[in-house]
Amino acid sequence: RTVYLNGEYIPETEAKVSIFDRGFVMSDGVYEVVSVLDGKLIDFDGHQARLNRSLDALEIGNPMPDADYLAMFRELVARNDITDGMIYLQVTRGNPGDRDFAYPPKDTPQTVVAFTQSKPGLADNPAAQSGWKVITVPDERWGRRDIKTVQLLYPSMAKMAAKAQGADDAWLVEEGKITEGTSNNAYIVKGNTIITRELSHDILHGITRAAVLRLAREAQMTVEERGFTPDEAKQADEAFVTSASAFVMPVVSIDGAKIGTGTPGNVAARLREIYLDEMR
Ligand code: PDD
């Protein structure tokens, strides 16, 4: 595989980053995941805009203009012959010297890494037909979940807890209400109303979420942006999640309780179809 590191396209085995890099010693970095379907980037502009917001929020200098990220992503897709899959991009604060809690000067070169993962048939994932089972766990992440940082240990722990129970993912709960999934935004459906938590520092502002809510409103569905409890979710007609890698993924059970009939719902199926039609 050919990867990108600080302006160069090189074999993955040659891509080396300093052990002093703040991305490594302090998780001081941000990332984006952009899907590729049929060789085409899905919603690049949305992801680029959020990358810029994450960098600004952490006062990490932006090493290059938006157009250069786009050109680089396209180059990686071409060099790796990606039809369906994803691009992972990470920008860290870099760091030339000793470990220090204080940030290095702003003109310190950042580290920029990107690579592709090939996932043939990504949009035809069989899980979309069977739906995900989720469990709930306390949301023990930090307070700025709107910044897409590489601090992903707690979400990984939650994912492992889900797998240990034979589930596919975990929904995180804070003060009695669901925030989001480990790496996706969470929704329930009651009648013709789609309910998902409002935007704040408590959740990542999903790029897929923004597109799906826009398309739902255009299709005359009602959207309520508010928190909901695990109990309300268990009583819902349907549930689903959205992310750049799962698109719209139905959820069929929560903590072992079936949602509706325990099979993927019509609203989720329809939104998945509308989203994929619109974006590819
Ligand atoms: N995760 N919430 C969290 C905590 C996430 O990590 C993600 C994305 C989302 C959905 O955001 P978007 O629709 O912009 O992908 C919500 C990516 C896919 C990941 O970490 O792999």
pLDDT digits (tens, 9 = 90+) for 183-233: 999 999 999 999 999 999 999 999 999 999 999 999 999 999 999 999 999
Say if residue 32 is in the same domain as residue 156.
Answer: no
* Triad 53, 54, 55: Cα angle to 5°: 90
Say if residue 205 is in the same domain as residue 265.
Answer: yes
CA of 97 to the centre of ligand 1 (A): 32
Q: What pLDDT, on the 0 to 100 scale, is given for residue 161?
A: 98
Q: What pLDDT, on the 0 to 100 scale, is given for residue 20?
A: 96
Strand partners, 132: 251
Asked whether the predicted pLDDT for residue 103 surpasses 80, the reply is yes
Say if residue 256 is in the same domain as residue 135.
Answer: yes
Q: Which residues are catalytic?
A: 148
| Pair 106, 139: CB distance under 8 Å | no
Ligand 1 atom nearest to CA at 245 = 18
DSSP labels for 31-47?
EEEEEEETTEESSHHHH
| Residue identifier of the C-alpha nearest atom 5 of ligand 1 | 183
pLDDT tens-digit series, residues 47-100: 999 999 999 999 999 999 999 999 999 999 999 999 999 999 999 999 878 999
Residue 241, domain CATH: 3.20.10.10
Asked whether the predicted pLDDT for residue 153 surpasses 90, the reply is yes
CA of 181 to the centre of ligand 1 (A): 9
Nearest to 2 by CA among 91, 119, 116, 90: 116
For residue 162, what are its two tokens? Answer: 């889900």
* End position of a domain, from candidates 122, 139, 166: 122
Say if residue 194 is in the same domain as residue 263.
Answer: yes
In the 8-state DSSP scheme, what is residue 148? -
Stretch 35-47: mean pLDDT: 98
Ligand 1 atom nearest to CA at 209 = 13
- Counting ligand 1 atoms within 8 A of each CB, the residue from 32, 184, 197, 275 with the most, and so the one to mutate, is 184
Ligand 1 atom nearest to CA at 50 = 14
Query: For residue 16, with 0-12 CB atoms within 10 Å meaning exposed, 13-18 middle and 19 or more buried, which class applies?
Result: exposed
* End position of a domain, from candidates 122, 144, 164: 122
Asked whether the predicted pLDDT for residue 107 surpasses 90, the reply is no
Tally: H helices and E strands in the chain: 8, 15
CA of 111 to the centre of ligand 1 (A): 21
Say if residue 116 is in the same domain as residue 152.
Answer: no
pLDDT tens-digit series, residues 235-266: 999 999 999 999 999 999 999 999 999 999 99
Nearest to 54 by CA among 205, 181, 178: 205
Say if residue 219 is in the same domain as residue 273.
Answer: yes
Residue 118, domain CATH: 3.30.470.10
Q: What pLDDT, on the 0 to 100 scale, is given for residue 93?
A: 98
CA of 199 to the centre of ligand 1 (A): 14
Ligand 1 atom nearest to CA at 145 = 4
Cα–Cα distance, 9 to 3 (Å, whole number):
6
Say if residue 151 is in the same domain as residue 32.
Answer: no
Q: What pLDDT, on the 0 to 100 scale, is given for residue 262?
A: 97
* End position of a domain, from candidates 75, 91, 122: 122
Cα–Cα distance, 234 to 215 (Å, whole number):
25
Ligand 1 lining (C-beta closer than 6 Å): 33, 180, 183-185, 204, 206-209, 242-245
- Counting ligand 1 atoms within 8 A of each CB, the residue from 27, 33, 47, 139 with the most, and so the one to mutate, is 33
Contacts of residue 123, defined as CB under 8 A and 6 or more positions apart, other chains included, come to 37, 84, 247, 276, 280
Asked whether the predicted pLDDT for residue 106 surpasses 90, the reply is no
Say if residue 111 is in the same domain as residue 132.
Answer: no
Asked whether the predicted pLDDT for residue 109 surpasses 80, the reply is yes
pTM of the model: 0.98
Portion of the chain with pLDDT greater than 90, in percent: 98
Say if residue 85 is in the same domain as residue 134.
Answer: no
* ipTM of this complex prediction, to 2 decimal places: 0.99
Q: What pLDDT, on the 0 to 100 scale, is given for residue 97?
A: 87
Say if residue 112 is in the same domain as residue 176.
Answer: no
Say if residue 184 is in the same domain as residue 225.
Answer: yes
Report which secondary-structure segment, H or E, holds 195.
strand 193-196
Domain interval for residue 116: 2-122
Say if residue 45 is in the same domain as residue 184.
Answer: no
Specify the number of domains making up the chain: 2
Mean pLDDT of the chain: 97
